[in-house]
Amino acid sequence: MYRIDDEQRRIRLGRRHLLVPSARAESVVAVADALVALHATDAATLHLSTCARLSDPGVAVVEQALYEDVSLVRLLSMRNTLFAVSTDVAPEVDASTARTVAAKERHKLLKHLREDGNGLDERWLAETERETLTALTAHGQATGSQLSAAVPGLRTKITVFPGTRQETVQGVASRVIRVLAADGRIRRGRPRGSWTSSQFSWTVAEPWPPSDPAAARAELTGRWLRAYGPATEADLKWWTGWGVREVRTALAAAGAEEALLDSGAVGLVAAGDLAPEPPPEPWAALLPGLDPSAMGWADRGFHLPADHRAALFDRAGNIGPTVWWNGGIVGGWAQTTGGELVWRLLSDVGREASLLIEAEAARLSSWVGEARITPRFRTPLERELTA
């Protein structure tokens, strides 16, 4: 079996994830497609991940792609997580993953409505959704609060988890809006406040046309292998949230080829992608929490030393802001309340690396400007650096 060692995996990561300076992209869409999907749970992460890979970074170009050109769209998809993908990739993500997630979200909401015991059912939900879409069409764009003011049904409160320790009374507005967004009937518009805010406005959208889920899974798997291969079957299962049967069928349909990894596991690459790549120029990067380069695999041993995990992850397994050197994670960074970027190296990387890390910090500061970044998921090292 062909062998691909950890050094070659790090070389591929640097170039294919556009982190090597000579590989940086000219457009937001090129960044999204290179990584297949950008994490969008944290609003700031989406901008930080994109700009780390742009030759000319800036908030305006990301916002133009999201809100003016709408060439980048957010979908609740892999692992029931919010991702941003290009409009070329969106139909594959929708058919392969997002449709299933949307059905589960609707089922969960209907279950809560029935458990409330006040006669709320599918008919009530359908009518509330219709009124919400009518109000949103009239407004053009509206926040959840504005929609609740316009639609009486959205002001309904229900008791969730009745009879348990978790019993609580909640409003349905955010849940109904979440279901409409998962179905692709509404999408997020500009947030209130700055680009770091997650308080979005909403606008009416058209759902993606239906397509064959199995074919979509095969296409998405091919894209993922080209970006993250070599990787294991377990990595793909974790990244997508698919079942084992779906993963294996998709890998076979994509024509995945096998390679032996340093860990002893069998890795998979896209068809014809076994050849080694030459090392790029030395590179450093400061990437945000939940960045795809840190979250693309279940087993991150080839680029993340095991003794760094405790400092860089929260208790739920979310990685915080990271410092990279030549394809490996060597530390973490944060922004103080005064706006200064600070970092701590957890590996001894030498003077050349330190100088390039300082240059990347200056590059990041230059476009972030006066914005203040607090990761949604706080990690031990990030908290220490901002204390």
Query: Residue 248 pLDDT more than 90?
Result: yes
Q: What is the DSSP string of 252-301?
A: HHTT-EEEEETTSPEEEE-TT--S--------EEEE-TT-HHHHS-S--T
pLDDT at 361: 97
Q: How, if at all, do strands 3-4 and 257-261 pair?
A: parallel
Q: Are 223 and 36 in contact (CB under 8 A)?
A: yes
Nearest Cα to Cα of residue 286 among 319, 347, 334:
334
**pTM of the predicted structure, to 2 decimals:** 0.94
Residue 357 is predicted with a pLDDT of 97
Quick one: pLDDT at residue 65?
A: 98
- Please list, in sequence order, all residues whose beta carbon lies within 8 angstroms of the beta carbon of residue 184, skipping any fewer than 6 positions away: 75, 94, 98, 102, 205, 206, 207, 208
* Contacting residues for 34 by C-beta, under 8 A, at least 6 apart: 16, 17, 18, 25, 53, 227
Q: Is the pLDDT of residue 193 over 90?
A: no
Alpha-carbon gap, residue 357 to 35, rounded angstroms:
22
Q: In the chain, pLDDT over 90 holds for what percent of residues? A: 91
Task: Using the structure block, give the residue that is written with the tokens 């957890």.
Answer: 346
- Is residue 202 within 8 A of residue 141, CB to CB? The reply is yes
Summarize the confidence of residues 128-157 as an average pLDDT. Answer: 95
Residue with the two structure tokens 């692992």: 79
What is the model's pLDDT at position 354?
95
The span from the CA of 104 to the CA of 179, in Å, is 9
Residues near 382 by beta carbon (within 8 Å), at least 6 away in sequence: 289, 320, 321, 332, 333, 334, 375
Interior angle at CA 272, CA 264 and CA 227, nearest 5: 70
Per-residue pLDDT tens over the stretch 33-75: 999 999 999 999 999 999 999 999 999 999 999 999 999 999 9
Q: Are the C-beta atoms of residues 225 and 259 closer than 8 Å to each other?
A: no
% of the chain surpassing 70 pLDDT:
100
188 HSE (CA, 13 A, CB side): 25
What gap in Å lies between CA 364 and CA 334, rounded to an integer? 12
Share the mean pLDDT of the chain.
95
Mean pLDDT throughout 348-358? 95
Is the sign of the CA dihedral 227, 228, 232, 237 positive or negative? negative
Cis, peptide link before residue 152, omega less than 30° from 0: no
| Residue 105 CA neighbour count, 13 Å, CB half | 23
The DSSP-derived string for 22-43 is: GG-BSSHHHHHHHHS-EE-SSH
